[in-house]
Amino acid sequence: MKLTFRRPDGSHGVHDTDPGTSVMEAAVAHGEDGIVAECGGSLMCATCHVYVDPAFSDLLAPPAEDEAEMLTCTAAERRPTSRLSCQLVLTDDLDGLVVEIPEEQV
Amino acid sequence: MAVLAPPSSDIDLWEDASLADPYPLYQQLRDLGPVVHLSAQDAFAIPRYDPLREALADWHSFTSARGVMMNDHVNSAFTGIVLHTDPPEHDVMRKVLAAPLRPDQLRLITPRVRAEADAVVDRLVHRGRFDAATDLAQHLPLTIVSTLVGLGDFGKERMLEWAAATFDAQGPVDRARTRAAFPKLDEMVAYATQEVTAEKVDPAGWVAALYAAADRGALRPGQPEAMVMDYTGPALDTTIFATSSAIWLFAQHPDQWDLVREDPRLIPHAINEVVRLESPIQRFSRVATRDVEVGGHLVPEGARVLMLFASGNRDERHYPDPERFDVRRRPSDHLAFGHGVHACVGMNLARLEIRLLLEALAAKVERFELLGVERAVNSTLRGIAHLDVAVS
């Protein structure tokens, strides 16, 4: 399945990924430097922040309480489409997902 | 599949020689199996990455409420700290404890911490030769305990001694090293639980916030006294050792320092790589609440089980070429900060302190020359007591 990162410089990273991995893990595996993911998915650092393309919003379950709380800690502006990519686990219906990487993570 | 008895080993992780160089022993334990019975302590150890990560996530089967250390004296001295609780009680306490350590709160103090980091690096680089384990690594953690935690200079001069003793006292009770640390441990506990009071601490500090939480009912009376130790206990030697280990590794691997200097955005990843390779807290333990299967082997109910963070972090089944120091590895899934509900509550602060020091150094230092190194020997921690370096 395809996963696209829109980077802060306007370029795109389009990667083949497998269902069951998180968007954060896919970013790290494919060298997307804009996803720092310092804490490795422990929901402690908010450095894997992404903006989900609105076309996909309805396909995602809303953030759980602990993710929502950590979303108040992002370095870049929090928007309604903000998510922590460690919590976005890819499923077949998310094929083609597009997420934008913010300017700042740390 | 039949559940087997774990392999047994007479490896003793608390011999002085083992404490000085544990990694070959961890390798032997990993080779033996996913869980190994240690006859010297009649305890079990989980040395491989996957079963370790799984066990750390499973607080139902592996409780922290009976202490995470290797003897009754220290486990009982630390009754009431967040590290020694299970959910749901743990979650309530942790929320209060973690409040000032959240990334958004730490961002507010970053300018102050950066100014401190820049000043100490300026001073030492100007001097040209210094002890990175003391002059460099101790400054920020000590400053933070006295200012942000809010203890002032009260007790500050003894904090380092207490911090080392706290971790030394965590070994098996039949070891002289362990027992020798008990008096200082008891002194520290008496200080934290009796001498530190709401009236004596900085009203804007983190300890005062614990007392305020008790006043508004978010904590029970008596809980703040123990939780002071959740701030002071792990705030010093852990971060201090991670910092000096970073300098030690960069001194030996100038090519890796060049990468960091060329692209300081690698620093957060380099910090993960340093603590993966040289995990300051080598291990804590849990107690099995039931008969648990670990990788096809039986760990019986009531057994003490060592979580060998430092071994999992060098498991060749998980990290290719695990002994290699590689700042581009991005091993953020390492277990040096633990994993699961007890993942290090101070990790963001530790990362901040180390990052700001490395950023300041990256701007000013081309090379570290290693002139001398003396390891610290401790029942629980791995680190360096003295690291004599010259910079250019």
Question: What's B117's domain CATH number?
Answer: 1.10.630.10
Transcribe chain A into DSSP letters.
-EEEEE-TTS-EEEEE--TTSBHHHHHHHTT-TT---TTSSSSSS--SEEEE-GGGGGGSPPPPHHHHHHGGG-SSPP-TTEEEGGG-B--GGGTTEEEE--S---
B3 found inside a domain: no
Bond prior to B88 in cis (omega within 30° of 0): yes
Q: Which domain holds residue B16?
A: 8-391
Give the 3-state DSSP-derived string for B186-245, with helices as H, strands as E and coil as C. HHHHHHHHHHCCCCCCCCCCHHHHHHHHHHCCCCCCCHHHHHHHHHHCCCCHHHHHHHHH
The residue of chain A nearest to residue B334, with distances taken between CA atoms, is A40
Which B positions 112-151 lie with beta carbon below 8 A of chain A? none
Q: How confident is the model at residue B2 (pLDDT cuts 50, 70, 90)?
A: confident
Predicted confidence (pLDDT) per residue in B236-248, tens digit: 999 999 999 999 9
- CB distance from B103 to chain A under 8 Å? yes
CA distance B40 to chain A (A): 34
Predicted confidence (pLDDT) per residue in A51-83, tens digit: 999 999 999 999 999 999 999 999 999 999 999
pLDDT for position A2:
97
Kindly list the residues from chain B whose CB atom is less than 8 angstroms away from the CB atom of residue A37.
Answer: 330, 332
Domains of chain A, earliest start first: 2-100 (3.10.20.30)
The closest CB to that of B333, out of A40, A46, A75, belongs to A40
Pair of tokens at residue B127? 């001097």
Predicted confidence (pLDDT) per residue in B70-114, tens digit: 999 999 999 999 999 999 999 999 999 999 999 999 999 999 999
Say if the Cβ atoms of A106 and B268 lie within 8 Å. Answer: yes
Lookup result for tokens 């869980």: B35
pLDDT for position B1:
58
Q: How confident is the model at residue B165 (pLDDT cuts 50, 70, 90)?
A: very high
Number of domains in chain B: 1
pLDDT for position B211:
96
The pair phi, psi for residue A93, each rounded to 5°, is: -75, -5
Q: How far apart are CA B348 and CA B346, in angstroms?
A: 6
For residue B370, the surrounding DSSP H or E stretch is: strand B368-377
What's the residue count for chain B? 392
B56 found inside a domain: yes
B354 found inside a domain: yes
B1 found inside a domain: no
- CB-CB contact of A78 with A71 (8 Å): yes
